Structure 1
Amino acid sequence: MDGDFAGEDVVIRMCAGAALSVMVIVFTFLRRLEHRRRSIRSGPSDERLRQERTRAALISRIYHGYSDSCQNFVRMRSGAFMKLAKLMRKKHLLKDSRHITVEEQLAITLNILGHKSKNRMMRTQFIRSGETVSRYFNRVLQAISCIQGKYMKQAPNEVPQEILSNPSFYPFFKDCIGMIDGTHVDAMLPASLVVRFRGRKGVTQNVLAACTPNKLFTYVLAGWEGSAKDYRILQEALSRPKPYGLRVYTGNKLDNENKYYLCDAGYTTQPGFISPYRGVRYHLKEFTGRTPQNRRELFNLRHSSLRSKIKATFGILKSRFKILTAKPHYPFPVQVDIVLACTVLHNYIATVDPDDELLNESFDFEEEVLAEEINEEANVMDFTRPQSVREQSASKDEWRSRRDQIALDMWTDYCHRYRHGDTSEYRLLS
């Protein structure tokens, strides 16, 4: 009998405890509900109003301060910035929350990208919590990645205007659709991964990019170890299935019109890619004060001149977005997203505001060209199909012969224009 009474006491105590807990929860909920109702009736506190006024004044200074205030703060002019905010709203990629507008979300993110600003600096300037700054920074990065398809399309299968209008390049490079190169961006990684990413330029991620002569990125592959060779990354880009791989077009084999990219000596001449002659002067500075002495030097000079466009593009990118020149304190996947976001923003600015001061003055691009769809998948080289060693060697020899023919055509034209038809070469060709 005593055991029965003891069990009843336990049950009674448990029920009483549960009832007390429910009463506390209900009471707390009612108190918070009443506090919220009072807040709604009384309006924002003086502290909240002061913060909102301070933020509004900051946004106003960005828009209406000095003539270059917007350019300095968000790394683009006010017209491009407002169009970007409108685009984000229109595509429902970003939206105004109860306390923070799309413009403020973009301003925070673009300032971090453009000035490698720390989270605590944004907290101070915008009077936001560190969690809010971090949350919207990542949200904006994802939104920018969603417009990549609109502002970063692979190179079209046509002669770029910069080649077509330059007699030094046309018709010799008439089948060139762009340039490829790699660039290193500082990376922060766990100690267990540092060795993999440490290369001759420190701990970095190696970024492969392709661009057109008018300095627009057409393909970007980020996230590779800094120790990886450029050619290895190119192989990865070519082996990826559509639409993630780098696209190279085929043409009429009888006319030898296969399209190609220009690349430096870190790559090899192969189907779709033409590198310079090795062991021959190449860099533009090496030709200062002297003229080409043979066809290979002339080819390398013009190859270097055209391929310098991608170096200039990297320079513009890193000049605008200083976060690419610093050690980023973010998880590595976010570091990769940062690189992609910066390249997309570069293309966006070049498209909507070609007069931007950081772009080359001769840059001339029609927005409609970028928006065109490329429906030529049937004429894209298939690099995913395995080849035998003999087939690979034969295809490389074929493209080396093509390079030789381009060099000969250049030399003949050059001698006709500037040497009274004298085609003699003053240095032996190795």
Structure 2
Amino acid sequence: MNGLRDRYMKQAPNEIPPEIANNPNYFPYFKDCIGMIDGTHIDAMLPSNLVARFRGRKGVTQNVLAACTPNKLFSYVLAGWEGAANDYRILQDALCRPQPYRLRVYDGILPPPLINNRVQLITNFFGSVGKYYLCDAGYTTMPGFISPYRGVRYHLKEHIGRTPRNSRELFNLRHSSLQSKIESTFGTLKNRFKILTAKPNYPFPTQVDIVLACTILHNFIAIEDPQDDILNENVLIDEENDDMTNEDGTNVVDFTQSRTQREERDARNEWKELRDQIAWAMWVDYCAKYKDGDTTEIGL
């Protein structure tokens, strides 16, 4: 199964996903989003001398980092980390690995063949910092990744029966709606492949391979049988902080190059400003549609 990985698991392409382009809640605001990242825990069986390293809030597990596209295909999986490891630390590992094992992040605007007049106008409005993944509050907003606002209600269930009172709540609502796609993908994976929750008594490297094989099988089924019943169930799991091709490496960000602390801070601030711009553009359009153009914000 792992031999089929390159065939059925492609890193996210440098283009606007149709699920975003065709949804007015997401487009043009998330036009540069190429996917979502998150971590999930898989029960693990280990020798007694390794149990302490892998024991975290979820028990003895391996922590698995994954990225998926908005159509719920895994585009990147890094399995085998200790369950006690911090999600952000695992992401840093994924960004510093040599290619082709590194999580791919792009900079710059869309390649010329993909630009039309409307997209170019939107690019000029928001700026062109680069492509990015959405991530939950367990990560941080930085080049290539946009997390939600902290201290603002986020999960979809927290918004039930409420209307957004300000740009940050609206941003978090729509961010959560997209981010829930990877949570649903994890739910589908574990619902189909019960071995992932059965603590299989295999050597740990084999347990890691089982996770990778299951994600490849998930993609195979999604590509070959998109009407599959389990695939179309909306199964969410609580992680609690918890055929596409792309052969062109143009504009891929190299995270292996060190930067000074000041450069890191400036880069993160630039991406936080981009998040603010996206949130405000959402809010202005939302108020024009539902609040007679009144952009007054409450609760900030």
Report the TM-score, using the length of structure 2 for normalisation.
Answer: 0.90
Find the aligned partners of 2:94 and 2:5 in 1 and give their Cα distance. 17
1:362-419 CA distance string (max 9 Å, x none): 9xxxxxx42x3421x1310010000111110000000000000000000001001111
Matches within 5 A, 1:143-292: 144-252=1-109, 255-292=127-164
CA contact (8 A) 1:238 1:384 kept: yes
Find the aligned partners of 1:396 and 1:185 in 2 and give their Cα distance. 31
From 360, 367, 374, give the equivalent of 2:247.
374
| Change in CA separation of 1:361 and 1:207 when aligned onto 2, cut-off 3 Å | closer
CA contact (8 A) 1:355 1:361 kept: no
CA apart distance, 1:256 = 1.1
Matches within 5 A, 1:6-405: 144-252=1-109, 255-360=127-232, 369-370=243-244, 372-375=245-248, 377-405=249-277
Gaps spanning 5+ residues in structure 1: where? 1-143, 363-368
From 275, 281, 293, give the equivalent of 1:409.
281
1:26-60 CA distance string (max 9 Å, x none): xxxxxxxxxxxxxxxxxxxxxxxxxxxxxxxxxxx
Find the aligned partners of 1:278 and 1:225 in 2 and give their Cα distance. 26
Find the aligned partners of 2:4 and 2:55 in 1 and give their Cα distance. 32
**Count of matched residue positions in the alignment of Structure 1 and Structure 2:** 277
Find the aligned partners of 1:404 and 1:203 in 2 and give their Cα distance. 39
Find the aligned partners of 2:282 and 2:97 in 1 and give their Cα distance. 35
CA apart distance, 1:241 = 1.1
Amino acid at match of 1:406: I
Find the aligned partners of 2:108 and 2:92 in 1 and give their Cα distance. 21
Q: Which residue of 2 aligns with 1:118?
A: none
| Change in CA separation of 1:257 and 1:388 when aligned onto 2, cut-off 3 Å | closer
Find the aligned partners of 2:250 and 2:159 in 1 and give their Cα distance. 41
1:76-132 CA distance string (max 9 Å, x none): xxxxxxxxxxxxxxxxxxxxxxxxxxxxxxxxxxxxxxxxxxxxxxxxxxxxxxxxx
Find the aligned partners of 1:310 and 1:373 in 2 and give their Cα distance. 20
Amino acid at match of 1:374: E
Q: Which residue of 2 aligns with 1:61?
A: none
CA contact (8 A) 1:185 1:206 kept: yes
CA contact (8 A) 1:203 1:226 kept: yes
CA contact (8 A) 2:11 2:246 kept: no
- Structure 1 runs (4+) greater than 4 angstroms displaced: none
CA apart distance, 1:423 = 0.4
1:168-209 CA distance string (max 9 Å, x none): 000000000000000000000000000000000000000000
SS at match of 2:293: coil
SS at match of 2:250: helix
Amino acid at match of 2:247: I
From 288, 293, 296, give the equivalent of 1:424.
296
RMSD: 1.3
CA contact (8 A) 2:12 2:246 kept: no
Amino acid at match of 2:104: R
CA apart distance, 1:257 = 4.7
Find the aligned partners of 2:182 and 2:231 in 1 and give their Cα distance. 13
1:123-159 CA distance string (max 9 Å, x none): xxxxxxxxxxxxxxxxxxxxx0000000000000011
Report the TM-score, using the length of structure 1 for normalisation.
Answer: 0.63
CA apart distance, 1:361 = 7.2
**Relative to total residues, which structure has the larger helix share, 1 or 2?**
1
SS at match of 1:378: coil
SS at match of 2:268: helix
Find the aligned partners of 1:240 and 1:146 in 2 and give their Cα distance. 20
Identity of aligned residues (%): 69
CA contact (8 A) 2:129 2:271 kept: no
Amino acid at match of 2:148: P
Considering Cα pairs closer than 8 Å and 6+ residues apart, tell me whether 1 or 2 has the greater RCO. Answer: 2
Q: Which residue of 2 aligns with 1:365?
A: none
1:218-275 CA distance string (max 9 Å, x none): 0000000000000000000000111110000111498415000000000000000000
